[in-house]
C-alpha cells in the first residue's frame, strides 16, 4: 500500500470517527435534555394544586336509529358503564388501553367477575405495554371462563421489523349485549375519574352492532379464543360511521377522515387533543382552513402527562399561529379528549390523538357523526372547556426565552417518531 492510499484511509477513518462523535454528542445532548425536562416536570407536578375543572352532565341526544350521550367527567361515565355491566344478560366486550389496579379498576374487575358468575359471556382485551406497571396478579386472578386477550408486547417474531407489528392497542371500548356501547378517550383508573378531562360517548340503537363488530374483528385477527362469530346484521347509517386504524393491514383511515372534514369546513373547526404533533399535511390542512376564513381553534393541555410530547408539539406552534390557527391551553388538569366538531354538523369522538403514533401507528377507533344536534352538544362542551383555557398568542410565543427555543431545536428530530 503506497503513502497516498494510507493517507486516504486515515482521512476516511478520521471522518468516520468525527461523525460517530458528533452523532454521540447529539444523542447525549438530547438524552440530557429529556432528563432535565423530566426532573422539571416531576417538581411541577408536586407543586401543582389539584383543581376541579368545569364540567356538566348532558342527557342523551336523539339520532336516527338510537341516541348518543356524551360524557366529559369520569365519575359520571364510570357509574353508567358499571350500571350497564351490572345489567348485562348475554355478553360483554371490554377493551382498554390502561386498566389500573386501584379503586376504580377493582370496581370494573369485580363487576366483570360478577357478570361472569351469573352466566354472562365476558371478553376482555388490554394492552400489555400500557399496563407494565400494573401487577400481573391483577389480570391473572381473573377467573377461568373470562376470556382475556393481552395485546402482546412484541408481535410477528422476526417480522417485528415491519410497521405492521409496531402498533399498540390504544382503543377504549365497552359493548354490552345489544343495549349499549361506549367509545372514547377514557382509560380505567382513579385519576381518570376526576383529575383528567376526557370525552367518551355512549351509543344506543343501531351503532351498538357496529362497535360490537369492531371488537370482534380485532379479537379474531389476533386469534382470541374462542373465535367470535360475526354479527348477523350490520347497518348502513348515513349519519354515523366508525373509522378503525388496523396496523396489521396497514390501514389508517382516521387521519384521512380528519383531513377530508377540515378541507370541507367553511365556518369553524374546533379540535381538542391531548397531544398535538401533526404531520405536514395535517398542519397544511389547518392553516389552509384558517386562511380561507374558517375559525380554527385547538385545545391542548398547557402541561400534559408527557412533557417530551409537549415540547415536540411546541416546535410546531409558530407555524400554526402564523397561519391563523388559535391555540387554547387547558389549565390545571390534563385534557385527554380526542374530539372535533366542524361547521355545526360534523363531529368525531374517539381514541386517536393528533400525532403519528395514533394516526399512523396504533390500533385506534373514532366515530364520525353527521348530526346537527350532536354537533351542538359538542360545541357546548368546547365552549365550556374554552373557559378553562388561556390563549397562546403569536406575540407571546415569539417572545419566549432563548432556552426554550434551544430545547425545541434539540428535541425536534424526534418529532417524526411521535
What would the pLDDT profile of 350-381 be if each residue is shown by its tens digit? 999 999 989 999 999 999 999 999 999 999 99
**What pLDDT, on the 0 to 100 scale, is given for residue 418?**
56
Is the domain spanning 247-414 CATH 3.30.870.10? The answer is yes
pTM for this structure? 0.90
C-alpha grid cell for residue 113? 367477575
Residue 16 has pLDDT above 90, yes or no: no
Q: Name the average pLDDT for the chain.
A: 88
The CATH homologous superfamily to which domain 57-238 belongs is: Endonuclease Chain A (3.30.870.10)
Q: Which of 44-58, 273-287, 320-334 has the lowest mean pLDDT?
A: 44-58
User: Between 54 and 13, whose confidence is greater?
Assistant: 54
Residue 346 has pLDDT above 90, yes or no: yes
State the number of CA atoms in the 13 A half-sphere of 299 facing the CB: 26
**What pLDDT, on the 0 to 100 scale, is given for residue 43?**
55
Tell me the H-state helices in 302-355: 307-314, 317-322
Tell me, rounded to whole angstroms, the distance of Cα 126 from its chain centroid. Answer: 15
Distance CA 244, CA 251 (A): 8
**What pLDDT, on the 0 to 100 scale, is given for residue 46?**
57
C-alpha grid cell for residue 133? 406497571
User: Between 142 and 35, whose confidence is greater?
Assistant: 142
Residue 50 has pLDDT above 80, yes or no: no
Residue 303 has pLDDT above 60, yes or no: yes
Distance CA 311, CA 303 (A): 10
> What are the pLDDT digits (tens) for 111-166?
999 999 999 999 999 999 999 999 999 999 899 999 999 999 887 766 677 777 78
**What pLDDT, on the 0 to 100 scale, is given for residue 223?**
87
Average pLDDT on 168-180 reads: 97
DSSP 3-state assignment of 54? coil
**What pLDDT, on the 0 to 100 scale, is given for residue 26?**
47
Residue 31 has pLDDT above 90, yes or no: no
The CB density around residue 266, as the number of other CB atoms within 10 Å, is 11
User: Between 196 and 1, whose confidence is greater?
Assistant: 196
What does R_g of the chain's alpha carbons equal in angstroms?
23
Q: Please answer whether residues 176 and 81 qualify as being in contact, where contact means their C-beta atoms are separated by less than 8 angstroms.
A: no
> What are the pLDDT digits (tens) for 378-411?
999 999 999 999 999 999 988 876 666 656 555 5
Residue 37 has pLDDT above 50, yes or no: no
Band of the pLDDT at 57, cuts 50, 70, 90? confident
DSSP 3-state assignment of 330? strand
Residue 80 has pLDDT above 70, yes or no: yes
Distance CA 330, CA 385 (A): 7
Band of the pLDDT at 232, cuts 50, 70, 90? confident
Q: Please answer whether residues 188 and 98 qualify as being in contact, where contact means their C-beta atoms are separated by less than 8 angstroms.
A: yes
Band of the pLDDT at 333, cuts 50, 70, 90? very high
**What pLDDT, on the 0 to 100 scale, is given for residue 406?**
57
**What pLDDT, on the 0 to 100 scale, is given for residue 314?**
82
Close Cβ partners of 47 (under 8 Å, ≥ 6 residues apart):
none
**What pLDDT, on the 0 to 100 scale, is given for residue 1?**
57
Q: Which of 28-42, 145-159, 203-217 has the lowest mean pLDDT?
A: 28-42
Q: Which of 241-250, 305-314, 353-362, 400-409 has the lowest mean pLDDT?
A: 400-409
**What pLDDT, on the 0 to 100 scale, is given for residue 36?**
55
Q: Are strands 180-184 and 147-151 parallel, antiparallel or unpaired?
A: unpaired
Q: Please answer whether residues 368 and 348 qualify as being in contact, where contact means their C-beta atoms are separated by less than 8 angstroms.
A: yes
Q: Please answer whether residues 325 and 251 qualify as being in contact, where contact means their C-beta atoms are separated by less than 8 angstroms.
A: no
For the residues of 354-416, what is the DSSP string, one character each? BSHHHHTTSBEEEEEEE-HHHHHHHHHHHHHHHTTEEEEPHHHHHTS-HHHHHHHHHHGGGGG
Measured between alpha carbons, how far is residue 98 from residues 95, 105, 176, 308, 400 in Å? 9, 10, 20, 20, 35
Distance CA 391, CA 39 (A): 26
Q: How far apart are the first and last CA of the chain?
A: 49
Residues of the chain with CATH 3.30.870.10: 57-238, 247-414
Amino acid at each position: 500500500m503506497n503513502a497516498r492510499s494510507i493517507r486516504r484511509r486515515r482521512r476516511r477513518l478520521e471522518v468516520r470517527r468525527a461523525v460517530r462523535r458528533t452523532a454521540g454528542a447529539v444523542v447525549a445532548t438530547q438524552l440530557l435534555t429529556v432528563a432535565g425536562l423530566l426532573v422539571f416536570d416531576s417538581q411541577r407536578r408536586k407543586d401543582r394544586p389539584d383543581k376541579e375543572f368545569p364540567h356538566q352532565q348532558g342527557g342523551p341526544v336523539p339520532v336516527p336509529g338510537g341516541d348518543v350521550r356524551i360524557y366529559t367527567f369520569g365519575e359520571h361515565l364510570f357509574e353508567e358503564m358499571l350500571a350497564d355491566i351490572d345489567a348485562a344478560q348475554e355478553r360483554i366486550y371490554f377493551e382498554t388501553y390502561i386498566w389500573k389496579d386501584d379503586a376504580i379498576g377493582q370496581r370494573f374487575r369485580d363487576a366483570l367477575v360478577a357478570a361472569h358468575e351469573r352466566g354472562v359471556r365476558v371478553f376482555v382485551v388490554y394492552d400489555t405495554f400500557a399496563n407494565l406497571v400494573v401487577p400481573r396478579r391483577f389480570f391473572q386472578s381473573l377467573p377461568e371462563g373470562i376470556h382475556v386477550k393481552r395485546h402482546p408486547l412484541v408481535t410477528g417474531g422476526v417480522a417485528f421489523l415491519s410497521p405492521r407489528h409496531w402498533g399498540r392497542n390504544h382503543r377504549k371500548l365497552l359493548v354490552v349485549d345489544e343495549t349499549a356501547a361506549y367509545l372514547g378517550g377514557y382509560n380505567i383508573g382513579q385519576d381518570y375519574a376526576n383529575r383528567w378531562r376526557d370525552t367518551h360517548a355512549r351509543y344506543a340503537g343501531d351503532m351498538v352492532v357496529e362497535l360490537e363488530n369492531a371488537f370482534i374483528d380485532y379479537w379474531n385477527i389476533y386469534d382470541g379464543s374462542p373465535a367470535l362469530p360475526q354479527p348477523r346484521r350490520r347497518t348502513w347509517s348515513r349519519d354515523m360511521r366508525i373509522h378503525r386504524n388496523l396496523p396489521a393491514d396497514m390501514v389508517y383511515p382516521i387521519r384521512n377522515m380528519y383531513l377530508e372534514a377540515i378541507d370541507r369546513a367553511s365556518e369553524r373547526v374546533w379540535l381538542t387533543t391531548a397531544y398535538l404533533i401533526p404531520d405536514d399535511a395535517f398542519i397544511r390542512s389547518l392553516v389552509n382552513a384558517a386562511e380561507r376564513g374558517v375559525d380554527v381553534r385547538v385545545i391542548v393541555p398547557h402541561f400534559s402527562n408527557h412533557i417530551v410530547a409537549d415540547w415536540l408539539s411546541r416546535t410546531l406552534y409558530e407555524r400554526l399561529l402564523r397561519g391563523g390557527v388559535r391555540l387554547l391551553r387547558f389549565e390545571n388538569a390534563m385534557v385527554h379528549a380526542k374530539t372535533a366538531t366542524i361547521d355545526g354538523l360534523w363531529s368525531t369522538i374517539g381514541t386517536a390523538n393528533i400525532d403519528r403514533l395514533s394516526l399512523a401507528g396504533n390500533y385506534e377507533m373514532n366515530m364520525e357523526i353527521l348530526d346537527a344536534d350532536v354537533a351542538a352538544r359538542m360545541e357546548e362542551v368546547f365552549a365550556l372547556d374554552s373557559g378553562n383555557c388561556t390563549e397562546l398568542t403569536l406575540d407571546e410565543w415569539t417572545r419566549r426565552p432563548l432556552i426554550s427555543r434551544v430545547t425545541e431545536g434539540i428535541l425536534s428530530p424526534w418529532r417524526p417518531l411521535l
